[in-house]
Structure 1
Amino acid sequence: MDTIGRTDTEVVRVEAVTKDYGTVKALRGVDLDLPGGGFTAVMGPSGSGKSTLLHCAAGLDRPSSGSVWLGATDLATLSETALTELRRTRIGFIFQAYNLIGSLTVEQNITLPLRLAGARADPDWLAEIVTQVGLDQRLTHRPARLSGGQQQQVAIARALITRPAVVFADEPTGALDTRTGQQVLELLRRMVDTFGQRVLMVTHDPVAASWADRVVFLADGKLAGELRRPDPEQVAARLTTLGEW
C-alpha cells in the first residue's frame, strides 16, 4: 500500500467496473477518471447505477469485476482493515442525511475522522476550513442547534479535514430547501476552486449538476455521455434522451 495522505498527482480512476446483485446488473463496465481540482456530477434515472458507482468508487462496496484506483493503490487488493484506513485518511464523504453525532460539538464532529485514525487536527487547517464553510462562530454548538444547511456545512468540513484525495457527495442537497441547497453547492464549488479539491457528486437535480465542471450520465448501468459546464436546461434536456441508450 502506498503512502497515506493526499498528493496533487493522485489519480482517481474507475476501470471497467461491473457490479451485480444476484441477477441484477447495476453497473456494466464503467470507466471514469476524476481530475484533480475538478467537480464531476453523476446523473441518471432511478436504477441507472449512480449510487452504486459512487459506493464502488469510494470503497464502500467492492465491484464484481474491474478496478478502482486511488493513486497507485488498487482498492480491490486491500483488506477490509486497510480499506477502512484509506477511507478515513484519503477519502471524504458527504451524505444527504449529514450523519453527524448529536452528542458531539461541531468541532468534535469535524475532527472525528482524524481521531478515529489516531491523528491530531492541524489547527491552521481546521481554522481555514471552518472559516470557509462559515462555522467559526459555532464550533461549540451541538448539531441540534443548527439548521439543515449548517449541519451539511459541518459534514463538508468533516469531509475536508483529512485533506482527502477525493470527496464523494451523495445527494448533498436532497434534504435542503432551494436557497440552502444553493449555499451548499456554492460551498462545494469554492472548495474545488480554492483548495483544488476533487469532488464526485451524485444528484438527481439538474440545477445542482450545473455547478459541476462535468456532468456524466448513466443509463442501465452504462455510461451514456457527458456534458462540460452545462446549464440546468442542457442537463434536463440530456436526461430526457437517456431512454435511447
Structure 2
Amino acid sequence: MTAGTVSVGAAHAVRLEAVRKVYGSGATAVTALDGVSVGIRRGGFTAVMGPSGSGKSTFLHCAAGLDRPTAGRVLLGDTDLAGLSENALTELRRRRIGFVFQAYNLLPSLTVRQNITLPSRFAGTSPDERWLREVAARVGIADRLDHRPAELSGGQQQRVAIARALVTRPELLMADEPTGALDTRTGQQVLALLRDLVDTTGQTVLMVTHDPVAASYAHSVLFLADGRLAGELAAPTPALVVERLTRLGEW
C-alpha cells in the first residue's frame, strides 16, 4: 500500500511521512524530529511517549498542522497539509481536529454550554443542540450546562474541555497530557472516558503522555527517542510500558 493513497487515508486518520523538524540553524540547530514515518490508525487510541526532549510535543504539533515540517509531509486523511495556507490550516483544525490540553482553557465568564459551543461560534455557525446534549451526556456533564467553570471540579472542567473538542465531530482528537493537572482517581476517570469514546463511537484519539498508567488506556503506544521512532507497543500495561521505556536507549 503506497503512502498517501486513498486506501492509506481510509486506514489512517493522520500520517507522517519522513517528517523532519529542525529548529534554528547552523551550530545552534536542534533536530526535534528526524525522519519519522508512522500512521495513526483511524478509530484507535494511540499514546505517544518518550523522555524529555524526545520530540513528543513536536510530533503532536506537526500532526495537527500547528507546526510545519522542515522536510517530509503530513496527511490528515487524504489532505496533504503542506499545500495549505495558514488560513486554510486554521480552518482545517477548526473543522477536523479537536484539542484537549493539560490546562482546561475554559473562559470563566461563560457557562459550560457557552464554552462547549465556542468552536461553532468562532466558525460563525449555530451549534447543533441535539449533538451538544449527546456529547454532554457522553462525557457526564449534562446536568452542568448552565454552571460556570468555577462551580466545577477539575475533572468536570476537563470533561467540558473534551466536550468542546468533540462538538465539531472531529476526525481526530489530540490530547496533550490531558490528566496532568488532575489527581490520580479523577485522571483515570477521564482516561476511561477517552477510551470509551474510542470504543463506542469510533473516535480517533492521539495522546501525548509521560505517565505509563495513562498510556495503558490506549490501544497502542508509540515511543520516541532523540526525535526518532523507537518502537511500538500494542495492548500496553503499565508494567510493559515502564519496561519498554527503560530500554529506549537500546533501540
TM-score normalised by L of structure 2? 0.92
Over residues 172-213 of structure 1, what are the superposed CA-to-partner deviations in whole Å (9 max), with x where a residue is unaligned?
011111000001001101110111000000000000000000
**Match among 94, 107, 113 for residue 107 of structure 1:** 113
Alignment-derived partner of residue 238 in structure 1: 244
2:11 and 2:163 mapped to 1: Cα distance?
22
**One-letter amino acid of the structure 1 residue matched with residue 87 of structure 2:** T
| Residues 9 and 29 (structure 1), Cα distance of their counterparts in 2 relative to 1, 3 Å cut | closer
Q: Is the 1:13–1:70 contact (alpha carbons within 8 Å) kept by the matching residues of 2?
A: yes
2:13 and 2:166 mapped to 1: Cα distance?
18
Point out where structure 2 has 5 or more consecutive residues left out of the alignment: 1-8
**Match among 158, 162, 166 for residue 164 of structure 2:** 158
**One-letter amino acid of the structure 2 residue matched with residue 132 of structure 1:** R
Q: Which moved more, 1:197-206 or 1:113-122?
A: 113-122
**Match among 61, 69, 86 for residue 92 of structure 2:** 86
Q: Which moved more, 1:39-48 or 1:139-148?
A: 139-148
Over residues 144-175 of structure 1, what are the superposed CA-to-partner deviations in whole Å (9 max), with x where a residue is unaligned?
11111111000100110001010000000111
Alignment-derived partner of residue 29 in structure 1: 35
**One-letter amino acid of the structure 1 residue matched with residue 81 of structure 2:** L
Moved over 6 A (4+): 7-10
Alignment-derived partner of residue 59 in structure 1: 65
Alignment-derived partner of residue 17 in structure 2: 15
Structure 2 residue matching 1:137: 3-state secondary structure: helix
2:198 and 2:132 mapped to 1: Cα distance?
17
| Residues 68 and 208 (structure 1), Cα distance of their counterparts in 2 relative to 1, 3 Å cut | same
1:87 Cα offset (Å)? 0.7
Alignment-derived partner of residue 134 in structure 1: 140
2:231 and 2:173 mapped to 1: Cα distance?
22
Q: Is the 1:171–1:203 contact (alpha carbons within 8 Å) kept by the matching residues of 2?
A: yes
Root-mean-square deviation (CA, aligned residues, Å) is 1.3
Q: Which moved more, 1:96-105 or 1:163-172?
A: 96-105
1:73 Cα offset (Å)? 1.2
Alignment-derived partner of residue 187 in structure 1: 193
TM-score normalised by L of structure 1? 0.95
**One-letter amino acid of the structure 2 residue matched with residue 14 of structure 1:** L
1:223 and 1:10 mapped to 2: Cα distance?
17
Alignment-derived partner of residue 144 in structure 1: 150
1:186 and 1:171 mapped to 2: Cα distance?
14
1:103 Cα offset (Å)? 1.2
**Match among 55, 77, 87 for residue 83 of structure 2:** 77
Q: Is the 1:10–1:165 contact (alpha carbons within 8 Å) kept by the matching residues of 2?
A: no
Structure 1 residue matching 2:143: 3-state secondary structure: coil
Residues paired across the two proteins, number = 239
- Flag the structure with higher helix content: 2
Matched, 1:123 2:129: yes
Q: Is the 2:47–2:215 contact (alpha carbons within 8 Å) kept by the matching residues of 1?
A: yes
1:32-47 pair list within 5 angstroms: 32-47=38-53
Over residues 86-135 of structure 1, what are the superposed CA-to-partner deviations in whole Å (9 max), with x where a residue is unaligned?
11110000000111111111011111111111112222211111001111
